[in-house]
Copies of this chain bind each other. A is one copy, B any other.
Amino acid sequence: MRYAVLGTGTAGRTLAAALSSLGHEVVIGTRDPETTLARTEPDAMGNAPFAQWAVNHPLIRLQTFGDAAAHGERILNATAGAASLSALEAAGARQLNGKILLDVANPLDFTHGMPPTLDPVNTDSLGERIQRTFPGARVVKTLNTMNSAVMTEPARVPGEHHVFVSGDDADAKAAAVELLVAFGWPRDGVIDLGDISTARGPEMLLPMWLRLWGALGHTDFNFHIQGARARG
C-alpha cells in the first residue's frame, strides 16, 4: 500500500522505516524537501540530519507535504503537534478526503517552559481538531502514548502493554488495528476507546509519560491497563 508519513523527526522516520520494511511504498512529507535535505546538523531533539538517515533508507522518498499526501492511500501525521494543522493544510484537504489519517502526534506546548504542557487540552484534543478541520479524512488517534521506538517494536518493553485507538470511523479503526498488528502488537493489546473525542484521554497521558521518563530515567516503558481483560 502507498503511505505518506508527514514529519521528518524520530517518529516519522521510525514509522516510515517500519512501513517500508513491511513492503509498503512510503513517501515522507516535509514542508520544503530541499531545506530538510540541506541540514547538516542534528535537529533540536538530537536527531541526525535527515539526509544522513535517507542514505540508509533508499526506498523512502522525501517530498512536499502535498506530494506525499497525493501519493499516500493512507496518511500518518507524525509532525510536531503544534505544527500538525499547518502541515495538514499544506498537504491539502483534497488530498486527505476519504483517506485514513493516523494521528500519532501530541500537541506539546513548549511556551510555558519544561516539561511541556498541552494545547489543546481538557476540553479539546489535537485528534478532534484535525477531524473537525478535515471532515473528509477518516482520523484515528493512536500510538501517541509511547516512545517512537516502542510504536513499531512493542517487544522493546517486555510483558503486556497497551496501545489505544480513538476515531469516528469503525472501518478506519479496524484498518489501524491491522497495521498495529503488523507492527507486532498483539490484537488484545489494542484498546478501542471510542469516538475521536476520546483522544483527549491518550493525549492527556503525555504529562504523566514525561514525568515517568524523569522518574525512571529511560523511555522503554509503556502504559498497561491491568484488569482490562473481560472478567470471567
Q: Which residues of A contact B (CB under 8 A)?
A: 112, 117-119, 121-123, 157-161, 191-194, 198, 200-202, 204-205, 207-212, 214-216, 218, 220-228, 231
A157-B227, A159-B226, A228-B221 are known contacts. Are A191 and B215 too (CB-CB below 8 A)? Answer: yes
Rounded to whole Å, the gap between the CB of A199 and the closest CB of chain B is 9
* CB-based closest 10 A-B pairs: A221-B227, A201-B208, A161-B226, A201-B211, A224-B224, A157-B227, A224-B226, A204-B204, A198-B211, A204-B207
Q: How many copies of this kind of chain does the complex include?
A: 2
Contact B211 A221 (CB under 8 A): no
Can you report 11 residue pairs joining A to B where beta carbons are below 8 Å apart? A112-B123, A157-B227, A158-B227, A191-B212, A193-B211, A194-B211, A201-B207, A201-B209, A222-B227, A223-B225, A224-B224
Say which residue of B123, B220, B222 sits within 8 Å of A117 (CB atoms). B123
In the complex, A205→B57 CA distance in Å? 38
Q: Is the interface of A mostly helix, strand, loop or mixed?
A: mixed
Complex-state Cα separation, A114 to B207, whole angstroms: 22
Taking CB atoms, residues of chain B closer than 8 Å to A222 are: 225-227
- A115 CB to closest chain B CB, in angstroms? 9
- On whether the beta carbons of A207 and B200 are closer than 8 Å, the reply is yes
- Taking CB atoms, residues of chain B closer than 8 Å to A231 are 218, 220
Distance to closest chain B CB from A187 (angstroms) = 15
A198-B211, A214-B194 known; A226 and B112 CB under 8 Å? no
Give the complex CA separation of A122 and B109 in angstroms.
10
- Return A140 CB to nearest CB of chain B, in Å: 15
Q: Are A210 and B220 in contact, CB atoms less than 8 angstroms apart?
A: no
- CB distance A117 to B112 under 8 Å? no
A125 to chain B, nearest CB (A): 9
- Which residue, A117, A192, A211, A212, has most C-beta atoms of chain B within 10 A? A211
Residues of B within 8 A of A192 (CB): 215
